């Protein structure tokens, strides 16, 4: 691997570092950093985090540092992925975050760029990039998660509009969203992957009802969304009618890439600090596990470097399969948070009374967000079996049947 910047990238790095130094505080790596409050259970802290994310994204946009790889006509800079890597490396040294806006951009941006009309791109992409409009993803349903293509929310054409009825679930940030990307069944006579259409829904439209779902940690990160006779103009269809599955695959690919690239606040340093505090560094068994945390972190770093090399050199054959990255990342995460709780012993059973306001207790409950969201570990293993190992496809005798004849949960 060769990580030397080209002269052009070195110049860009210096420019990025100067911008960041002028507009942000260096990251201190402890609880003085606002950027680590992404998952706070305190409503005031959570709201403050949201506000700061919007402000930071607006500042990036205003100074031409948002969407570096996005085309210029949508407010980006039209630069290469290598520029984005360099900028992210520099930004990691500062106490800044774009939080939920990064997720919305990763899901909605590539989908509208690739499949949207010119009008949709012009209308929705710039405010998405500047963080002025927030989005949510209306895909999962009570009876359609891993087998998303069996979804039952109906879309019926009525002149120049579609009428949507159904229920979505696990919709992250729907309570803050201006728009949602939604997939619905527009042709129940077609096989399940064929009769789906992809829409942009105004979350303020009549008939959209958002009900928060409170998680084990006590926060309501996601919601149920009920859609009752919601009218969506034909102009809000993304891609062709009935081709929504193809469009949704673009969204889902970007989603698992985003999750495997996500940074976490629970690296080796945090685990070793707990080990020292609890005396676990003297326990031979726990020392083995600490070595595993260290090794996993090194492997993840090397995987990141390999991806970086693939991007920087244009040798995309070196890039790792997204499912491999996601599963390695989430398994390493769950190993280290569970180890930290083991090391705390009886203290580990406390809630927010435990050290650091229940930091590990929260992280332990929160691990499932990464392990389930963006496709479960089992589903990503299926992908690896089929797409990397060449194993036969998982049997599915409903694939070619008209959707209305399939059995659903």
Give the catalytic positions in this structure: 255
Minimum distance, C-beta of residue 171 to ligand FAD, in the bound complex (Å): 5
Minimum distance, C-beta of residue 260 to ligand FAD, in the bound complex (Å): 15
Minimum distance, C-beta of residue 194 to ligand FAD, in the bound complex (Å): 20
Minimum distance, C-beta of residue 11 to ligand FAD, in the bound complex (Å): 39
Q: Which of 56, 65, 222, 359 binds ligand FAD (CB under 6 A)?
A: 222
Q: Of the listed pieces 63-71, 138-146, 206-214, 281-289, which binds ligand FAD according to CB under 6 A? A: 138-146
Nearest to 37 by CA among 391, 403, 359, 347: 359
Q: Is residue 150 near ligand FAD by the rule CB under 6 A? A: no
**Packing angle between helix 43-62 and helix 118-130, nearest 10 degrees?**
120
Cβ proximity of 366 and 258 under 8 Å: no
Cβ proximity of 45 and 218 under 8 Å: no
Q: Is residue 372 near ligand FAD by the rule CB under 6 A? A: yes
Q: Of the listed pieces 12-20, 115-123, 133-141, 234-242, which binds ligand FAD according to CB under 6 A? A: 133-141
- Site residues for ligand FAD, 167-196, by CB under 6 A, read 170-172
Q: Of the listed pieces 123-131, 193-201, 339-347, 364-372, which binds ligand FAD according to CB under 6 A? A: 364-372
Helix (H/G/I), strand (E/B), else coil: 273 = helix
In this complex, which beta carbon is closest to ligand FAD, that of residue 236 or of residue 367?
A: 367
Minimum distance, C-beta of residue 183 to ligand FAD, in the bound complex (Å): 9
Q: Is residue 369 near ligand FAD by the rule CB under 6 A? A: yes
Q: Which of 35, 57, 137, 367 binds ligand FAD (CB under 6 A)?
A: 137
If residue 74 lies in a helix (H) or strand (E), which one and from where to where?
none
Q: Is residue 281 near ligand FAD by the rule CB under 6 A? A: no
CA gap 165, 206 in Å, rounded: 12
CA gap 175, 62 in Å, rounded: 26
Q: Is residue 375 near ligand FAD by the rule CB under 6 A? A: yes
CA gap 244, 198 in Å, rounded: 5
Question: Parallel, antiparallel, or unpaired: how do β-strands 222-233 and 208-213 relate?
Answer: antiparallel
Nearest to 262 by CA among 103, 82, 96: 103
Q: Which of 67, 76, 116, 145 binds ligand FAD (CB under 6 A)?
A: 145
Nearest to 202 by CA among 211, 210, 213, 192: 210
CA gap 152, 185 in Å, rounded: 6
Radius of gyration of the chain (CA): 22
CA gap 21, 151 in Å, rounded: 48
Q: Which of 225, 362, 373, 403 binds ligand FAD (CB under 6 A)?
A: 373
- Site residues for ligand FAD, 382-401, by CB under 6 A, read 382, 394
The residue number whose beta carbon is nearest to ligand FAD equals 145
**Which tokens belong to 257?**
């890439």
CA gap 311, 261 in Å, rounded: 14
Q: Of the listed pieces 204-212, 291-299, 337-345, 377-385, which binds ligand FAD according to CB under 6 A? A: 377-385
Q: Which of 146, 234, 263, 387 binds ligand FAD (CB under 6 A)?
A: 146
- Site residues for ligand FAD, 285-314, by CB under 6 A, read none
CA 243 to chain centre: 23
Instruction: Report the interface residues with ligand FAD, using CB under 6 A.
Output: 136-137, 139-140, 145-146, 170-172, 222, 368-369, 372-373, 375-376, 378-379, 382, 394
């Amino acid at each position: 691997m060769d990580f030397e910047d080209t002269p052009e990238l070195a110049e860009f790095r210096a420019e990025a570092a100067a911008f960041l130094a002028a507009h942000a505080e260096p990251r201190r790596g402890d609880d003085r950093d606002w950027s680590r409050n992404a998952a706070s259970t305190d409503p005031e802290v959570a709201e403050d985090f949201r506000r700061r994310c919007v402000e930071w994204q607006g500042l990036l946009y205003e100074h031409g540092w948002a969407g570096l790889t996005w085309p210029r006509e949508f407010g980006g800079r039209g630069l290469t992925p290598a520029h984005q890597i360099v900028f992210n490396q520099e930004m990691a040294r500062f106490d800044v975050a774009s939080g939920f806006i990064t997720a919305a951009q990763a899901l909605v941006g590539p989908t509208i760029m690739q499949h949207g009309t010119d009008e949709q791109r012009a209308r929705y992409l710039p405010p998405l990039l500047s963080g002025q409009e927030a989005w949510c993803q209306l895909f999962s349903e009570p009876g359609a998660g891993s087998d998303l293509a069996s979804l039952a929310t109906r879309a019926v054409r009525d002149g120049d509009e579609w009428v949507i009825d159904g229920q979505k679930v696990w919709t992250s940030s729907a309570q803050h969203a201006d728009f949602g990307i939604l997939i619905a069944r527009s042709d129940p006579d077609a096989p399940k992957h064929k009769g789906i259409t992809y829409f942009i829904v105004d979350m303020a439209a009549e008939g959209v009802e958002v009900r928060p779902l409170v998680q084990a940690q006590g926060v309501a990160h996601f919601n149920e969304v009920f859609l009752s006779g919601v009218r969506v103009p034909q102009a809000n269809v993304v891609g062709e009618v009935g081709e929504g599955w193809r469009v949704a695959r673009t969204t889902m690919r970007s989603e698992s890439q985003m999750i495997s690239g996500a940074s976490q606040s629970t690296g080796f340093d945090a685990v070793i600090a707990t080990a020292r505090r609890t005396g676990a560094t003297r326990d031979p068994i726990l020392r083995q596990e600490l070595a595993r945390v260290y090794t996993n972190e090194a492997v993840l770093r090397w995987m990141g470097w390999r991806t970086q090399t693939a991007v920087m050199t244009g040798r995309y054959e070196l890039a790792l399969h997204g499912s491999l990255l996601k599963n390695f990342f989430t398994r390493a995460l769950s190993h280290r948070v569970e180890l930290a709780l083991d090391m705390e012993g009886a203290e580990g059973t406390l809630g927010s009374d435990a050290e650091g306001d229940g930091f590990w207790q929260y992280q332990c409950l929160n691990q499932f967000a990464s392990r389930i969201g963006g496709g479960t570990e089992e589903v990503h293993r299926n992908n690896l079996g089929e797409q990397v190992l060449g194993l036969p496809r998982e049997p599915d005798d409903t694939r070619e049947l008209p959707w209305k004849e399939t059995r659903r949960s």
